[in-house]
Chains A and B, each alone.
Chain A
């Protein structure tokens, strides 16, 4: 499974867009990019995932570069409730397992 690299922490002003970067330079052609977050000690929360194309849902947008070696999760209007640890995970390539490999993630602090 490809590994990901994320900054350990980021700050964002409430109401502004939060842009969380992720590098996954060893991603293979059939691996997806997933984003999850964990608020306090709750269970991780699925946000969005994509393969090649950019994706958008009610929570966020996912921008994947053309070479697929990096991606950005965008929270368009961050609120205080978006303060969490955000995980970028690459998975489900040729193997038939849904195993997710969590790293350290990015701690996003949304400030008033």
Chain B
């Protein structure tokens, strides 16, 4: 069974540009989550999808971040325009049940210069 995959693994962009991160969850997992770790800080929750609906987006830092999950399969996280403080590692996770274990992808390392 394939795990959670994320693309790209690394992205380097300039301040003000746009970047789109993609996450493919484990097949059959209705729950999809985004987290991020910025330099020196703890891993922080961004949002939670149940199928295509946003169940909890309390962790989204501001309106420069837009997450979508059309069709309830893969998800994208767009940052527009990117700022220096957005640099970090963005993790995606999925789970079958909300109360179950979450399976994380390898992350996308975003560097904004």
Chain A neighbourhood of B93, CB < 8 A: 43-44
Which of chain B's residues 90-113 have a Cβ closer than 8 Å to chain A?
A: 91, 93, 95, 98-107
Contact partner of A42 (CB less than 8 A), chosen from B95, B98, B106, is B106
Determine the residue in chain B with the shortest Cβ distance to A48. Answer: B101
Chain B contact patch, size range: 20 to 34
Decide: A46 near B45, CB < 8 A? Known: A96-B55, A99-B59: no
Main secondary structure of the interface of A (DSSP, over half): loop
The reply on B58 being an interface residue by CB < 8 A is yes
The reply on A100 being an interface residue by CB < 8 A is yes
Contact A98 B31 (CB under 8 A): yes
Contact partner of B89 (CB less than 8 A), chosen from A36, A41, A99, A102, is A41
Chain A neighbourhood of B48, CB < 8 A: 97-99
Expressed in whole angstroms, the minimum distance between the Cβ of A56 and any Cβ of chain B is 14
In the bound assembly, the distance between CA atoms of A45 and B93 in angstroms comes to 10
A25-40 interface code vs B (CB 8 A; 1 in, 0 out) = 0000000101010100
Contact B98 A43 (CB under 8 A): no
Chain A neighbourhood of B105, CB < 8 A: 43
Chain A neighbourhood of B85, CB < 8 A: none
Chain B neighbourhood of A43, CB < 8 A: 4, 91, 93, 104-107
Decide: A97 near B42, CB < 8 A? Known: A43-B104, A45-B104, A46-B101: no
Contact partner of A98 (CB less than 8 A), chosen from B33, B44, B106, is B33
The reply on A92 being an interface residue by CB < 8 A is yes
Chain B neighbourhood of A36, CB < 8 A: 102
In the bound assembly, the distance between CA atoms of A36 and B42 in angstroms comes to 14
In the bound assembly, the distance between CA atoms of A104 and B70 in angstroms comes to 34
**A positions within 8 Å CB-CB of B:** 32, 34, 36, 38, 41-49, 92, 95-104
**B positions within 8 Å CB-CB of A:** 4, 31, 33, 35, 42-45, 48, 55-56, 58-59, 89, 91, 93, 95, 98-107
Q: Shortest 4 CB-CB distances between A and B: which pairs?
A: A43-B104, A46-B101, A97-B56, A102-B43
Beyond A99-B33, A101-B45, 5 additional contacts (C-beta under 8 Å) are: A32-B99, A46-B103, A48-B101, A96-B56, A97-B56
